[in-house]
Amino acid sequence: MGIFRKFFEKLKYTFKRTELNDDFYDELEALLVSSDMGVETALDIMDELKIVCKKKLIKDIEHAQIELKNILIEKLQATPIEFTYPMIITVVGVNGVGKTTTIAKMTKYFSKLKKSVLLAAGDTFRAAATEQLTDWADRLKTKIVKQGEGADSAAVVFDAIASMKAKNYDVLIVDTAGRLHTKTNLMKELEKINNIINREYPEAKKLNLIVLDASIGQNSIAQVKAFKDSVNIDGIVLTKLDGTAKGGVVYPIINDLNVPIVFTGFGEGVDDLDTFDAERFVDKILM
């Protein structure tokens, strides 16, 4: 994959240095900041690395790299989300982050686990949204509950829950209108949808997942914060990791906002979705 391509090249060059000195630390710090970690997170990581290297009397680059990897992995160890069934997943996010494609990928993921999946076309705000989701449902041979353009999205969710309960579906994935996090009326709609879910199926596992585009960097943090003001955000799906995205923004998201990464998307194919694994993620940075 092309993930973090330029970052990799610079990092490999940095670790080719022969001496563990201030120049090495300064260059490494600059690289971490450039990976969209943010200055504060990068400084915390560098402080930890310096302390560990001093305590363990590490003088060579190779062992410093091992310690950096351990620190990076440890900082991604958020409390994982456990999937239990029946489960209702509400997918939120702004337009353009790959929300519809992500729903298709999650449908395929749960289908591989032998779970029955139902889709709810809750994005009645955008003209082509229901058509796009219907197309994916047809291709994946998955049932979908929908209404006409402009319909009440909460009513769509109400019907979908009724169908889920009647036919014993394991997973219901609810699409919602892609919205700017500054649109108050659309945020209120999210609250309404969540109220319907809690009222109609209180015993189901409920997850609100926000889809974020890895390439937008620090703006992701503002998006998560804004959505959290209206609805509880349980986890993140980080998309578009197949380009030149650096993805370091996952560190302040996990550490500052206490929201775990659940899935990562790395391509346009329906199978291009992985559950998040901290060690594998860091290996991609340091390989």
Whether residues 114 and 50 fall in one domain: no
* pLDDT the model gives residue 227: 84
Judge if 46 and 114 occupy the same domain: no
Q: How many domains in the chain? A: 2
Closest CA to 120 of 146, 81, 100, 85: 146
CATH number of the domain bearing residue 13: 1.20.120.140
Asked if residue 133 and residue 33 are part of one domain, the reply reads no
> Which amino acid appears at position 232 of this protein?
N
Residues 144 and 281 in one domain: yes
99 and 176 part of one domain:
yes
The whole-chain average pLDDT of the chain stands at 84
Whole-number pLDDT of residue 86: 98
Do 61 and 166 have their domain in common? no
pLDDT of residue 11: 59
Does residue 12 share a domain with residue 131? no
119 vs 218: CA distance, rounded Å: 31
CB-CB contact of 160 with 167 (8 Å): no
Domain co-membership, 45 together with 149: no
pTM: predicted TM-score of the whole model, two decimal places: 0.85
> Quick check: 8 and 15 in contact, CB under 8 A?
no
Query: Which residues in the chain show pLDDT less than 70?
Result: 1-18, 179-184, 217, 241-247, 284-287
Do 153 and 218 fall within a single domain? yes
80 located within any domain: no
Q: Say yes or no: 48 and 120 in one domain.
A: no
pLDDT in tens, 175-199: 998 765 455 677 788 889 999 999 9
Say yes or no: 199 and 114 in one domain.
Answer: yes
Q: Are residues 213 and 135 in the same domain?
A: yes
Domain hosting 40: range is: 5-74
Q: What is the pLDDT of residue 181?
A: 47
CATH number at residue 215: 3.40.50.300
82 lies in some domain:
no
pLDDT, tens digit, 9 for 90 and up, residues 222-267? 888 888 877 889 999 988 766 555 567 788 888 777 888 899 887 7
**The two structure tokens encoding residue 59:** 């003088």
